[in-house]
Structure 1
Amino acid sequence: MRRRSITLMPVAFRVSVTMAVAAGLFAVLSAGEIAQSRSRSLSDHKPHEAVARAHTMPVQGIDVSAWQGDIDWQSVRKAGVQFAFIKATEGGDHLDPKFLQNWYAAKRAGVARGAYHFVYWCRPAHEQALWFMLNVPPDPDALPPVLDVEWNGHSKKCPKKVSRDVALAKIKLLLAAMEAHTGRKPIIYTDLVFHREVLVGELKDYHFWLRSVAAEPEKVYRQRNWAFWQFSTTGYVPGIKGKVDRNSFNGQQSSWDRVLKWLEASN
């Protein structure tokens, strides 16, 4: 599949990316400054040569949870990170203990951020939707929420898979609830196995955030354009102790800047 550059732009109520950081809090670096900063600061503990292109893409980001501990978001921003997806909720009763701390600290540092919900397949979708709505502020300056869909194979309580039809029904209910709560169309995060078993040919109206640490996404994902690429789980970013997932935006710096300017103006 030919790689297509994605530009996230608003379309009425069902926007692709909405409500960014308030005016004055998000100072976008020029492409040259970002590239220079990234060459000095952003790296990987175990870089994979097959995804070398990801490291040179203009707009770099991370995703974080409580596993990263206390984060110095000012240092993260100075290193060239422009966006972050922050874990908020999981299933119907787990709130990431660092969510609110990360949520507001990232905003203060000028990092565009969105919250993500990790789906737990043994919990009814409506309970998960309510849990997300109760715990994630519908901030007018946030990126779209993310629905994280992958199999819970490492879970001690819920390692089983559900049928494709059941999985899709849960996903669609959650997507609708998240959009109703935030006023913006969610992004879908997934991995190769779940995509192949459940998502091929489905949900084409949504932007996708794809995990692919050993190959470029278009080489391993069938029938799927993408907006964000998680290319490493062993990243190094100043301000974060230990490893962190690294991501890139599928577009040029100018595309990202236009999105942010519109979002800031609409806030």
Structure 2
Amino acid sequence: MREILLSVLFLCAFIDGAWADYDCPNHPISVADAGWCKFFDEFAFRDQEDPARKINYLVKESLAAIDVPDKAIRSYAFVISVWDYRKGQVDEEELKGIKADKPAILKFLSEQGFDEAIVLNNGDATADRIRKIFTEYYLPKFESAAAAGQKIRFMFIFNGHGWQPRSSGGTGALALADITDDSDLDYDHRFSLAELRGLLQDVSQYTQASIALLGSCYSGSVFEDGSGHEEDFAPGAAAWIAAAAPRGVEAWELKDRQGTVFFQNLIRVIETWRSAEAELAPQDPAGKVVDMTKYAPTLRDITSYINNQHFFGGANPETGEHYPPFIVDTIEFSGGKRAAYRFVAGQDLADKIGQNIGLNFTKVAFTGSSIEGRSDITVVHTPGTYSIRGIDLSSGNINDDLDFKSIKQEAGISFVYFKASEGQKPLNAERMQKEDQAYRKVKRAWDKARAAGLAVGAYHTFNFCEDVEDQFDYIKQRVHRTDDLLPMAIDVEWYDGKPAPGTGGCSLTAALAHSKIYTLARDLEGYYGKKPLIYLVSSSVREIAGDSVDYPLWIANFSSKAAAVGPGEPWTLWQYTGKGHIPGTANLVDFNYFFGNATQFSQFQKSGSNIAGEVAGK
């Protein structure tokens, strides 16, 4: 008998009407089948109308629902645990880990702020019942709730054996209690991962955050390509799957049979993350900027940490190799829902945070630091909470057919920055002709964007080797002063300690680059009467911006940490992705968020001042 749990034979062992509502007596819910009512009893049900029901602030923040009433938010879980495979040739000792996981999973759901859970154990989890619970309970409930403006969070959990398809490219299945052995091809004895994926896609179209945690062997075959591509800061809803093992690979129990590798480590790292990593202290002296990234790690944060640390207790004694990596990918394979799923601290800890630092959660900016050695540089980890979004365009991704009224409505943007100039005025006639041609295209788009009611602004790509005064003169020729013009932006392409190719081949230090850039910034402020933005990738902030807080920053960072500068002052604009889509072009464009609300954006448009700094903690 194996000393590790979940042998290849067992966890992974299986290769290849009329609608009626019933009111449940113990809970204020209606279901399509009266027999389902008992499946709500294992988890502490929270009535949506109960005035004592309190939504964890971090749940609201992770759902971009800070200002949404508690009654308009609800979290649902669907848990399936199968440890009794009585028809199969299964040693019960090999199933203890799955059974041991269940109380830990239910406790975890409670700590994560879930309101209700359907729990199916062993033979209760039939293929027909799983299918009907999705289609006759969750889908109609979520559709009507979403239509009423509610924010919904959903988690699906399966813990049990996996079934591997006979064909190398086939999709596996969840092994249900009636399955016998690896030759059992009865569709009622397993639940196809392809069907599950489709049901999760259907559900996720109505939710703000959906996640599936699959603890079975071969569960990675649920993905089309078997790997994950999470974008932590993509806009919109989150819809993700985490699988215990890649396609064709076994998952395991812990050696002591006190749980499975997948669920015990997942839960342990989330709990350790928030208790050991988080500091109950504000980032700024005013006490209003709190590092919350450590209280709300993403699914990617957790799985990457586990995989990188081999957090499974060393090598697998059966194989002598590391345990298989956990993998994640989006439920929506079209790429429509790539926002990160965030785990959150329990309500008790959330309250403790506020009590320990004397904060009222309604007045706190939840941020965190992403630049080593600069705790004053803040980040924000849920861009969905910001209402002001915009794009930046150059002549290369503009065409004359762009309809900015449609772009404004369909992409949900409020402003556009256009590239107006680069370096000094060209001395070469051919180059000047090309730049004039590009500028005319930009100007036509600029006028159309302004006519569509969008705020417009211009950016200048800085050349490190050309004279600052000559660049300033060229900007003035291209960009005329108007009251409604957004503050100018200086595009500083500095990477890995030197100018990016094409922005000047001369050798200069970061200190000299800083001096030249900020000289141009002062000239622009004097001429346009507004503080210009300094655009930088976050990794260059420390080198180029240094300790300066004279000018607001436009930060480019597409990863899980988007930086900003100034003691307690966040970024002003954050370019969070370069893969955005707008109607009228197949070209990918940059999307940006403004740190602040509509009133603060209006003030920024007039002065260029980082008004959002006052919100974040000044």
TM-score by length of structure 2 reads 0.33
Report whether the alignment pairs 1:69 with 2:398.
yes
Maintained 8 Å contact 1:47/1:234: no
2:413 maps to 81
Separation of aligned partners in 2, 1:246 and 1:89: 20
1:252 aligns with 2:252: no
By how many angstroms is 1:260 displaced? 6.8
- Does residue 229 of structure 1 match 2:574? yes
Q: 1:74-113, aligned counterparts within 5 Å?
A: 74-79=405-410, 80-93=412-425, 95=435, 96-97=438-439, 98-113=441-456
Counterpart CA distance in 2 for 1:261 and 1:179 is: 12
| Corresponding residue of 2:476 | 133
Q: What is the distance in 1 between the residues matched to 2:544 and 2:607?
A: 34
What SS class does the counterpart of residue 133 from structure 1 fall into? helix
Partner of 1:49: 340
Query: After superposition, what is the alpha-carbon deviation per residue over 1:114-166, rounded to whole angstroms, capped at 9, x for unaligned?
Result: 111110111111111111011111122111111111224232x7345521232
Q: Structure 1 pair 123/258, CA: closer, same or farther in 2 (3 Å)?
A: closer
State which of 444, 453, 466 in structure 2 corresponds to 1:123.
466
Count how many residue pairs are aligned between Structure 1 and Structure 2: 222
1:189 is aligned to 2:189 = no
The 4+ residue runs of structure 1 with deviation greater than 4 A are 43-48, 220-224, 257-263
- Separation in 2, partners of 1:123, 1:259: 30
Q: CA deviation at 1:258?
A: 6.6
2:486 to 133, 137, 143: 143
Q: 2:449 is paired with a residue of what secondary structure?
A: helix
Unaligned ranges ≥5, structure 2:
1-148, 150-234, 238-333, 342-379, 427-434, 609-618
- 1:254, distance to aligned residue in structure 2 (A): 4.9
Superposition CA RMSD, Å: 3.2
Please tell me the residue identity of whatever aligns with 1:88.
Answer: A
Larger Cα-atom Rg: 2
* Alpha carbons 1:47, 1:232 under 8 Å: kept: no
Deviations 1:6-60 (A, max 9, x none): xxxxxxxxxxxxxxxxxxxxxxxxxx9xxxxx869xx978956399722452111
Distance 2:419 2:384 in 1: 23
TM-score (structure 1 length as normaliser): 0.72
Task: Report if the CA contact (8 A) 2:556-2:574 is conserved.
Answer: yes
Q: Distance in 1 between matches of 2:519 and 2:385?
A: 37
Per-residue deviation at 1:205?
Answer: 2.3
Distance 1:214 1:261 in 2: 31
C-alpha contact (below 8 Å) 1:118/1:149 kept by paired residues: yes
Task: Tell me if structure 1 keeps the 8 A contact 2:485–2:605.
Answer: no
**Larger RCO of the pair (alpha carbons < 8 Å, separation 6+):** 1
CA distance in 2 between counterparts of 1:253 and 1:221 reads: 21
Deviation string 1:210-258 (CA, Å, 9 cap, x unpaired) is 111002324x868662111100000012234321000011113454367
Give the letter for the 2:413 counterpart.
V
- The one-letter amino acid paired with 1:81 is I
Cα separation, partners in 2 of 1:180 and 1:45, compared to 1, 3 Å: farther
1:175 aligns with 2:506: no
Q: Which runs of 5+ in 1 are unaligned?
A: 1-31, 33-37
1:212 aligns with 2:557: yes
Distance 1:260 1:147, change over 3 A: closer
